[in-house]
C-alpha cells in the first residue's frame, strides 16, 4: 500500500523466502491484500510458502491465480503439498498419522451449560479446555467455574486482554500444563483451561477433552487439532475416546448468534452453514475428514436439503447474500488501497490514498486488517498527587517528565491493545504526557489511567484484574 517508504520495505523482501502461516484465517479484505502481496513477491524474486490445514478450494485458487497460475489444479488426496514454479504446478500427497475418531456432541450456548459439562468431564480426571469466542465470555466462565471446580483442579485463564508481559507468562503457563509430553514435568491429574482463539492455532497443546463455542468449521477443526494431539502412555478411562462438545450445536433450534456475539465475530452465514453441516457429522476422522468438511461449508452452494425449508431459506436467501455482499465490499476496498505491481508506474498511484504510519495523522489510514479502531495502552495507577505507578505498590513517577530508558522498557512490557469504541475515543482525546510522548519506545502508546483501580468513561468502567486481565463493566450491571 501507499505508505511512507513502502518501496524500501518491499526492497527488503527481495529474493527472500517468505512464509505465511494459517492463511485460511484471514477475512476477504486481508486475504485480498495478501493476493496483491503475492504478485509483488513474485516480481521481487521471492519464494513463498503458504501453510494451512483447512484451506477452502476457492481461497487456494485465488492465491495461486495471484501467483500467476492459470492452469487447472491437478486432483490429489488430502493431506497434500502443492508446488507452483516455472515448471508448472505439481501436487503430491503424504501419509499423516491417523487420529482416533472424535465424537462430536452438542450443548446449549449458555455459560451454565458449558460449566456443567466441563465439571462433568473433570469429575473423571484429565486435562481439558473450553475455547470460547470472546474475552468477556471467557472471563465470565472462569469466574463461574472458579468456585465450583474440585480443589485439586488446576484452573487457568488465557486470552489476549492481558498486558504483554503477563500474556507471555499466561502462554508459558498454558504450555507447561497442557503442552506435549515432557519427561521433566508431570501432567496434572485434573486441569482445565478457559481460553479464547489464542489457544486455537500455533500453540502445541494437547487436551484429553474439549468444549468449544460454535465457530466456522475450519476454526473448529483447528481447535479439534488440540484434542488427543500427542500419543500418551496414559489418559483417564473416561477420555480414552476424544470428544468435542460444541455449544450451539443443537438439532432442535438455530444457535443464538446475537446474545453470544458469535455472529459479530464470525458472521451469521458461516456459523449457520457450519451448524447445518455438522448436524450430520457426529464422528470426525482426522485428518481424512478435514478437507471434506471445509469444502462442504465453503462450497458456493452448500448442501442444506436436510434442514427445514424456512431455515434453508434464511441461510441461502438472507445470510448468504449478506455474507457475499460484505466479502465483495472488503475485496473492493482492498483493491482501492493496494498498488498493483503490474500497473504502469505513472498510473499505479492514481487515487491511491497515502498514509498508514501511526505518525501520519493527516492522511487516510491504510490498514492491513479491518475492524474496530484499536489503541495501544499502558495501564497505570494514578495516586492522589497525580503521579503514576506501573503497579499499585511501585515507586511513583511524574507523567510530566520524560522517563528513563530503563523505566520505558518496563512500561513497554505492560502494553496491550484495546478496541472498545467508547474507550478508544476517550483515550485518543487525552492530553499529551511527556512521560510517554517524548520517549521513542512509547510514542504510540496511550496511558490507561486507573483511579482507585478503575478508568471511568461515561457508563463504562474499565479495570485491570490480576487474574482476569482487563475487564469491562457497564454501570448498573452486576
Q: Are residues 121 and 92 in the same domain?
A: no
Q: Is the pLDDT of residue 478 over 80?
A: no
Question: How does residue 210 score in pLDDT terms, banded at 50, 70 and 90?
Answer: very high
Q: Are residues 51 and 185 in the same domain?
A: no
Question: How does residue 345 score in pLDDT terms, banded at 50, 70 and 90?
Answer: confident
Q: Are residues 11 and 125 in the same domain?
A: no
Question: How does residue 365 score in pLDDT terms, banded at 50, 70 and 90?
Answer: low
14, 369 contact by CB (below 8 A): no
Burial of 367 (0-12, 13-18, 19+ CB in 10 A): middle
Residue 146's domain is classified under what CATH number? 3.40.50.300
Q: What is the pLDDT of residues 21-49, one digit of tens each?
A: 999 989 999 999 999 999 999 999 999 99
Residue 52 falls inside a structural domain:
yes
Q: Is the pLDDT of residue 363 over 80?
A: no
Q: Is the pLDDT of residue 195 over 80?
A: yes
CA-based end-to-end distance of the chain? 46
Spatial distance between the Cα atoms of 137 and 311, rounded to a whole number of angstroms? 27
Averaged pLDDT of the chain? 93
Question: How does residue 98 score in pLDDT terms, banded at 50, 70 and 90?
Answer: confident
Q: Are residues 133 and 270 in the same domain?
A: yes
For 119-140, what is the mean pLDDT? Answer: 97
Residue 396 falls inside a structural domain:
yes
Share of the chain above pLDDT 70, in %: 97
Q: What is the pLDDT of residues 269-322, one digit of tens each?
A: 999 999 999 999 999 999 999 999 999 999 999 999 999 999 999 999 999 999
Q: Are residues 302 and 437 in the same domain?
A: no
Helical pair 6-13 and 28-43, crossing angle rounded to 10 deg: 70
Total domain count, the chain: 3
Spatial distance between the Cα atoms of 193 and 207, rounded to a whole number of angstroms? 9
Q: Are residues 253 and 274 in the same domain?
A: yes
Q: Is the pLDDT of residue 333 over 70?
A: yes
Q: Is the pLDDT of residue 339 over 70?
A: yes
Residue 349 falls inside a structural domain:
no
Question: How does residue 329 score in pLDDT terms, banded at 50, 70 and 90?
Answer: very high
Q: Are residues 158 and 284 in the same domain?
A: yes
CB atoms under 10 Å from CB of 282, counted, come to 12
Q: Are residues 43 and 154 in the same domain?
A: no
Minimal CA–CA distance to 103: which of 288, 285, 297?
Answer: 285
Grid cell, residue 285, equals 476422522
Q: Are residues 22 and 70 in the same domain?
A: yes
What pLDDT is recorded for position 359? 53
Q: Is the pLDDT of residue 7 over 90?
A: no
For 323-344, what is the mean pLDDT? Answer: 92
Q: What is the pLDDT of residues 456-477, one digit of tens each?
A: 999 999 999 999 999 999 987 6
Q: Are residues 388 and 468 in the same domain?
A: yes
Residue 317 falls inside a structural domain:
no
Q: What is the pLDDT of residues 255-283, one digit of tens each?
A: 999 999 999 999 999 999 999 999 999 99
The whole domain housing 429 covers 375-474
334, 326 contact by CB (below 8 A): no
Q: Is the pLDDT of residue 357 over 90?
A: no
Residue 316 falls inside a structural domain:
no
**Beta-strand relationship, 446-451 and 375-382:** parallel
Residue 106 falls inside a structural domain:
yes
For 101-106, what is the mean pLDDT? Answer: 97
Spatial distance between the Cα atoms of 28 and 15, rounded to a whole number of angstroms? 27
Q: Are residues 75 and 194 in the same domain?
A: no
Spatial distance between the Cα atoms of 312 and 318, rounded to a whole number of angstroms? 10
Q: Is the pLDDT of residue 362 over 60?
A: no
Q: What is the pLDDT of residues 412-423, one digit of tens each?
A: 999 999 999 999
Q: Are residues 112 and 202 in the same domain?
A: yes
Residue 200 falls inside a structural domain:
yes
Amino acid at each position: 500500500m501507499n505508505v511512507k517508504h513502502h518501496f524500501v520495505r518491499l526492497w527488503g523482501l527481495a529474493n527472500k523466502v517468505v512464509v505465511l502461516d494459517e492463511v485460511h484465517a484471514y477475512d476477504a479484505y486481508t486475504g485480498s491484500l495478501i493476493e496483491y502481496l503475492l504478485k509483488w513477491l513474485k516480481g521481487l524474486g521471492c519464494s513463498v510458502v503458504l501453510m494451512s490445514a483447512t484451506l477452502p478450494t476457492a481461497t487456494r485458487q485465488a492465491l495461486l491465480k495471484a501467483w500467476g497460475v492459470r492452469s487447472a489444479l491437478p486432483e490429489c488426496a488430502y493431506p497434500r503439498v502443492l508446488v507452483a514454479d516455472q515448471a508448472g504446478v505439481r501436487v503430491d500427497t503424504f501419509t499423516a498419522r491417523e487420529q482416533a475418531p472424535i465424537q462430536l456432541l452438542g450443548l446449549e450456548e449458555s455459560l451454565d451449560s458449558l460449566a456443567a459439562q466441563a465439571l462433568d468431564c473433570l469429575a473423571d480426571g484429565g486435562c481439558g479446555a473450553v475455547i470460547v469466542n470472546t474475552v468477556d465470555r471467557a472471563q465470565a466462565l472462569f469466574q463461574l467455574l472458579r468456585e465450583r471446580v474440585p480443589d485439586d483442579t488446576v484452573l487457568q485463564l488465557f486470552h489476549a486482554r492481558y498486558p504483554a508481559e503477563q500474556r507471555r507468562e499466561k502462554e508459558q503457563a498454558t504450555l507447561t500444563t497442557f503442552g506435549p509430553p515432557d519427561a521433566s514435568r508431570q501432567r496434572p491429574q485434573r486441569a482445565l483451561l478457559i481460553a479464547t482463539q489464542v489457544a486455537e492455532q500455533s500453540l502445541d497443546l494437547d487436551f484429553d477433552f474439549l468444549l468449544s463455542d460454535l465457530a466456522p468449521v475450519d476454526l473448529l477443526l483447528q481447535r479439534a487439532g488440540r484434542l488427543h494431539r500427542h500419543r500418551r502412555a496414559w489418559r483417564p478411562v473416561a477420555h480414552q475416546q476424544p470428544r468435542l462438545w460444541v455449544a450451539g450445536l443443537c438439532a432442535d433450534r438455530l444457535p443464538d448468534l446475537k446474545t453470544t456475539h458469535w455472529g459479530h465475530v464470525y458472521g451469521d452465514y458461516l456459523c449457520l452453514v457450519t451448524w447445518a453441516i455438522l448436524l450430520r457429522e457426529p464422528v470426525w476422522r482426522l485428518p481424512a475428514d478435514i478437507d471434506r468438511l471445509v469444502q462442504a461449508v465453503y462450497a458456493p452452494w452448500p448442501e442444506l436439503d436436510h434442514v427445514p425449508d424456512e431455515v434453508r431459506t434464511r441461510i441461502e436467501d438472507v445470510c448468504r447474500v449478506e455474507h457475499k455482499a460484505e466479502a465483495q465490499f472488503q475485496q473492493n476496498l482492498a483493491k482501492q488501497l493496494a498498488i498493483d505491481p503490474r500497473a504502469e508506474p505513472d498510473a499505479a498511484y492514481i487515487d491511491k490514498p497515502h498514509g498508514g504510519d501511526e505518525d501520519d495523522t493527516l492522511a487516510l489510514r491504510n490498514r492491513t486488517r479491518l475492524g474496530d479502531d484499536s489503541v495501544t495502552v499502558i495501564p497505570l495507577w494514578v495516586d492522589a498527587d497525580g503521579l503514576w505507578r506501573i503497579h499499585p505498590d511501585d515507586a511513583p513517577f511524574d507523567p510530566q517528565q520524560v522517563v528513563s530508558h530503563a523505566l520505558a522498557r518496563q512500561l513497554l512490557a505492560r502494553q496491550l491493545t484495546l478496541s472498545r469504541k467508547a474507550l478508544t475515543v476517550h483515550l485518543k482525546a487525552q492530553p499529551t504526557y511527556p512521560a510517554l510522548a517524548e520517549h521513542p519506545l512509547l510514542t504510540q502508546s496511550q496511558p490507561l489511567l486507573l483511579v482507585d483501580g478503575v478508568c471511568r468513561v461515561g457508563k463504562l468502567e474499565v479495570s485491570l484484574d490480576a487474574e482476569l486481565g482487563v475487564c469491562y463493566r457497564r454501570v448498573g450491571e452486576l
